[in-house]
Chains A and B, each alone.
Chain A
Amino acid sequence: MKLKKGIPLIDQGNKLGFWGGKFGGNFVPETLKKPIEDLEALFNKLKNDKKFIAERDKYFKNWVGSPTRFIKLENLTKYVGGAEIWSKVVSDANGGAHKIYNATVHCLLAKQSGKKVVIGDTGAGYAGKMLSMAAKKFGLKCKIFMGAKDIARQQPNVKAMKKNGAEVIPVYSGSQTLVDAVSECMRFWVANCDTTAMCVGSTVGPAIFVRICGWSTSQISRELKVQLIDEFGSVPKKLKLYNCVGGGSSSFGFWNEFIDYDKKQCEFIGVEAGGPEKSKLHAAPLTYGSKIGILHGAVQYVNQDSDGQIKETESISAGLDYPGISPLHCFLKDTKRARYTAASDEDALNAYITVTRFENLRPSLEPSHAFSVAIKESKKLSKDTIVVVNSCGDAYKDREILKKRLGKKYV
């Protein structure tokens, strides 16, 4: 299994949509074959269409707000006493997280295909909130599927979705989290694919959704590359990019422009959700050696039992609480281009405390996982190493959890 240079990773899959001949694919009911093929044809055409790209860039710039900041965390760097710690503040983006890129592109595609309704899944509520924003912007009807457990723990985003006019459909099956929301959303699409466009909220699902999402979030690394060169004159000799990994959309977008660099120069570290320290459950299939299986249409490493039933996950962060992982990350892991590790709920909370103590930055619980590992590793790194953490979400949505776990002063 090998990465190819000079070809975007999203386009390195084979004819059937397998990366490395192994990960991804299209394990979907027959009914979805045609709508998926239609979407593939549309996307393949538009992704090279100058007019479409100009339209995308216009919305990214004027509506999403591009570029998001790239800042040095001076106080945190001093406190840690190792590598220079920087952050790409993707939570600056309209709506407060990276999910806006994928949502915008899906709505632009839906408009092109003449569909009037767009549906999506959501875990932390960001994917849903952003889709509802984009749907409103582009005049589409919007339905969001969300696990009942996530609805209870991510109320600020639920309120935002409803305010944007979206219908939030609670999912009561299974573990009532993201995995069930994605299943239910796919089921709805099976029954309504003639009138409805589906947006999968991360780089997961059938291959075309992995590609569209990866193409969209890659905006993050396009901006970062320019910002790095502005700041340092070139891409630094020792660069480490830390990102949390749930489905894997923000991390893929954060790394994409740097994949062709040697990993000695530019290392990728993905941080999965290890769950509560005392629990055996986790959402870290790459770190804890989960077996390869099929979930939501794609081959990937996935938490499952020996029969192939998908296992329940547990994490303080709803956005990382997914038993599988993008086929793109499976490919990056098996080719050893990226390194994956996990942080526990407690690690993430401690990192949140540390970051907010020293910096005017409030990463949500998802990027707090990445900060946890970045802070630990930075201590041992040389002063000329540039560590960049993607702060891909804002903690506003986590206020209830933070209040409960850390007390009022942290909200």
Chain B
Amino acid sequence: MFNPISAAFKKAKQENRAALLTYTVAGDSSKKQSLDILKSISKNADILEVGIPHNTPVADGSQIQTSAYRAIKNGIKMNDIFKIIKDFKNLNKKKPIILMGYFNMIFQYGKKNFLNKCKSSGVNGLIVVDLPWPENKDFAKKCKKKSIYFIQLLSPTTTEQRLKRIIRDSHPMSYFISMLSTTGGKLKVSPKNILKNYNKIKKIDPKKEIVIGFGITEKTIGKLKSADGLVVGSAICKEISRSLKHRQNPVTNVSKLVKKLKKKIL
């Protein structure tokens, strides 16, 4: 079966635009609300990244941390996360979902159990922030057997030799971290330079999709639209926090934001 992630990129290419990927934390601010957010943004987002909240995240900035702590405080558990995804997929089978998290949560669930559960609830891809290459080789193979993409992360610090090896082992989609930063940092490198790095990586194997993430907001997304795909995470988490603070409905506000983001890359 064709992985819906690849289908989403194909569709975006046909429309001559970058794919829009959103990141929200499962269970933020409640189980129901995070499902509602997924439902409402899926009209404009091409691929939905769903974060597994973790309480010692070593690569996330304050916005995503706030969302994660909020979700954990509201009692989210691993099985709830799978349920949210399954419920979403029951309504919208073709919309690709990427689960993103830290390895300890997978390790405790049991790698095999975790992948089985991913498969049965409809997860199409996985990003494991703290399971770099080559440590991830075995796990990536196991993902492949389940037709789940294991998405490799690439960074400005990744050496050229290492880039080549990672891309060689990578599945059809990889994720380029725009700059040295945790998630949600201010874009401290010019979009031009980010794209220069991006194109260098893209050349290694042009057939493979590479998305750019970290520091992408309404302001910066338009300047990066020549990439295969763009990920917006912290800006969305921030919008949820802002809505809650002003007692507004996060679902409608986030939905509006995603719509605006989409317009910028058309």
Interface residues, chain A, CB within 8 Å of chain B? 16, 25-35, 173-174, 179-180, 183, 186-187, 190-194, 291, 293-297, 304, 306-310
The residues of B that contact A26 with a CB separation of less than 8 Å are: 132, 135
B58 touches A306 (CB 8 A): no
The 7 closest A-B pairs by CB, nearest first: A308-B108, A34-B157, A31-B155, A294-B104, A29-B59, A30-B153, A308-B104
* CB neighbours of B185 from chain A (8 A): 191
Complex formed: what's the CA distance from A25 to B134 in Å? 12
Taking the closest CB of chain A, its distance from the CB of B182, in whole angstroms, is 5
A295 to B106, CA, bound (A): 13
A186 touches B104 (CB 8 A): no
Interface of chain B, main secondary structure: loop
Contact A295 B56 (CB under 8 A): yes
Cβ A296 vs Cβ B107 within 8 A: no
Give chain B residues whose Cβ lies under 8 Å from the Cβ of A291.
Answer: 108
**B177 and A27 form a contact (CB under 8 A):** no
Cα(A293)–Cα(B106), bound, Å: 10
Given A30-B154, A191-B181, A291-B108, do A307 and B78 touch, yes or no (CB 8 Å)?
A: yes
Known contacts A25-B135, A307-B78; is-contact A30 B56 (Cβ 8 Å): no
Q: In the complex, which of the residues B132, B158, B181 has the most CB atoms of chain A within 10 Å of its own CB atom?
A: B132
Count A-B contacts at CB 8 Å.
114
Query: Which residue of B has the minimal Cβ distance to A29?
Result: B59
Question: With A190-B181, A307-B105 known to touch, is A296 a contact of B58 (CB < 8 Å)?
Answer: yes
* Given A306-B108, A307-B77: A190 and B59 interface contact (C-beta under 8 Å): yes
Q: How many residues of B contact A (CB 8 A)?
A: 41
Q: Are A173 and B69 interface neighbours, CB within 8 A? A: yes
Give 28 CB contacts A-B under 8 Å: A26-B132, A27-B131, A28-B132, A29-B59, A29-B129, A29-B130, A31-B59, A31-B155, A31-B156, A34-B157, A174-B55, A174-B56, A183-B58, A190-B59, A191-B181, A192-B180, A193-B157, A194-B157, A294-B130, A295-B56, A295-B104, A307-B78, A308-B78, A308-B104, A308-B105, A309-B54, A310-B55, A310-B104
Q: Is B61 an interface residue (CB 8 A)?
A: yes
Contacting residues, chain A, for B159 (C-beta < 8 A): 34
Task: Kindly list chain B residues whose C-beta atoms are within 8 Å of the C-beta of A27.
Answer: 103, 130-132, 135
A191 to B104, CA, bound (A): 22
* Cβ-defined partner of B180 (8 Å) among A16, A183, A194, A309: A194
Report if B46 contacts A (CB, 8 A): no
Which A residues lie within 8 Å of B180 (CB)?
31, 190-194
